[in-house]
Amino acid sequence: MSRFFTKSLAALQPYVPGEQPQDMQYIKLNTNESPFPPAPGVMKVIGKAEVAKLYLYSDPDCKALIAAIAKRFGLRPEQVTVGNGSDEVLWFALRAFCDEETPLAYSDITYGCYKTWCSMLNVPSNVLPLREDFSVDTGLYRGLKCTVMIANPNAPTGICLPLSEIEAVLRANPDNVVIVDEAYVDFGGESAASLIGKYDNLLVVQTCSKSRSLAGARLGFAMGNPDLIADLNRIKFSFNPYNVNRLTCLAGIAAMEDEEYFQKCTSAVAETRDRTAAELEKMGFDLTDSKANFLFAKSSRIPGGELYRKLKEKGILVRHFDKPRLENRLRITVGSDQQMNALLTALRELGA
């Protein structure tokens, strides 16, 4: 770092994304992208005429996009806001609902960005342990006097809480915001969006990167009580009012409107996930009950780091976390059937 870097952030440990090779020589099963292209309508709306308008700013209110999201979830527009990926929306939420006196509570095994953002914002972390089977003990999240963050399904475990458990946390923390990060909910979980009218302290955050095949477009959104959404917009308009570009707005609308394609793609991913999990179990792998578009797997024969390296040598990228309790597990994105068959073949060849 330079000598000018602020001392308050000198100890910051940045979040490290999965490898993103640009030459596509690998089968990429490490970043939880969709194996399918965006909805056909996305291709139709992003044409030369719209590209020609890029000299103009996008709509800072994103009215048409927000209306499409609200309609899809049976909400009012004032119950929705959008951002440059769900990461930005979650950052807005931490900035709005956490400070030096209001910590953020989250699991010890979950997205690494939560810890990083707390460090950046000088927000204390209340880190709560997962059970030995990697499930969330919601009893630990009750009456904390903290803003609560629950990734559901969690990452990298893929384990999903039922809505009854989410409600228990909401009821036990009536004076604090409970944020439910639902990046992977569309592959087998049940969204807490249905609870928004019942709890004014609930904020549900989703992304279009996974189930709507728009990872490169960068679009996320939050849903909640209008007062919570107004808080997020207060942060947004103080920081980056044009945070969602013109083409992403159009792509997001088209993706939201094509429910048939959305259901087809998410069902296909879930079917491939379950088929792959069954094959891995036959090979002796230990797996969590993933409801996401990835598997969290442990070989009974080869350590996690070694298996990651051997798969990379065979041209297959998976994610390995060299941390306690995780070092022998791999997070494997569910790709196409062809990609998963190639993975299974490689694992058999390696004797995993």
**What pLDDT sits at residue 65?**
98
At 298 the pLDDT is 98
**Where among 228, 258, 288 does a domain terminate?**
258
**Order of all β-strands in the sheet with 286-287:** 286-287, 294-298, 329-333, 319-320
Q: What is the CATH number of the domain that holds 329?
A: 3.90.1150.10
Asked if 68 and 179 sit in the same domain, the reply is yes
Among 219, 235, 258, which residue terminates a domain?
Answer: 258
Residue 31 and residue 107 in one domain: no
Residues 92 and 172 in one domain: yes
Q: Look at residue 92 and give its three-state secondary structure.
A: helix
Pair 252, 219: CB distance under 8 Å: yes
CB crowding 323-336: b at 16 or more within 10 Å, else e: eeebebbbbbbbbe
Q: Say yes or no: 196 and 344 in one domain.
A: no
Profile the chain (352 residues) by mean pLDDT over runs of 10 residues. Answer: 85 75 82 97 95 96 98 98 98 97 97 95 97 97 95 98 98 98 98 98 98 98 98 97 97 98 98 98 98 97 97 96 94 98 98 91
Q: Is 2 inside a domain boundary?
A: no
Query: What integer pLDDT is reported at residue 4 of this predicted model?
Result: 87
Residue 11: the pLDDT is 82
Does residue 97 share a domain with residue 185?
yes
Asked if 156 and 283 sit in the same domain, the reply is: no
Q: Are residues 33 and 55 in the same domain?
A: no
- Give the pLDDT score at 23: 62
In a domain, 247, yes or no: yes
Is residue 171 domain-resident? yes
What pLDDT, on a 0 to 100 scale, did the predictor assign at position 24? 61
Helix (H, G, I), strand (E, B) or coil at 40: helix
Query: Distance between CA 102 and CA 175 in Å, rounded?
Result: 11
Same domain for 154 and 84, yes or no, is: yes
Residue 331 in any domain: the answer is yes
Shared domain check, 329 and 312: yes
Both 315 and 278 in one domain: the answer is yes
Preceding peptide of 156 cis, ω within 30° = yes
- 249 and 277 co-located in one domain: no
Domain boundary at 258, 279, 310, which? 258
197 shares a domain with 118: yes
Q: Is residue 52 part of a domain?
A: yes
What is the CATH number for 221? 3.40.640.10
> Residue 329: which residues within 8 A CB-CB, separation 6 or more?
156, 296, 297, 298, 304, 320, 321
Inter-residue contact 59 to 207 (CB < 8 Å): no
Residue 234, H or E segment:
helix 226-239
In a domain? residue 57: yes
Count: domains in the chain = 2
pLDDT on residue 253: 98
Residue 300 in any domain: the answer is yes
**Tokens representing residue 304 in the block:** 């996690």
- Residue 241 corresponds to which tokens in the numbers above? 């009012």
Asked if the structure places residue 88 within a domain, the reply is: yes
Residue range(s) defining the domain that contains residue 70: 41-258
Entry pTM: 0.95
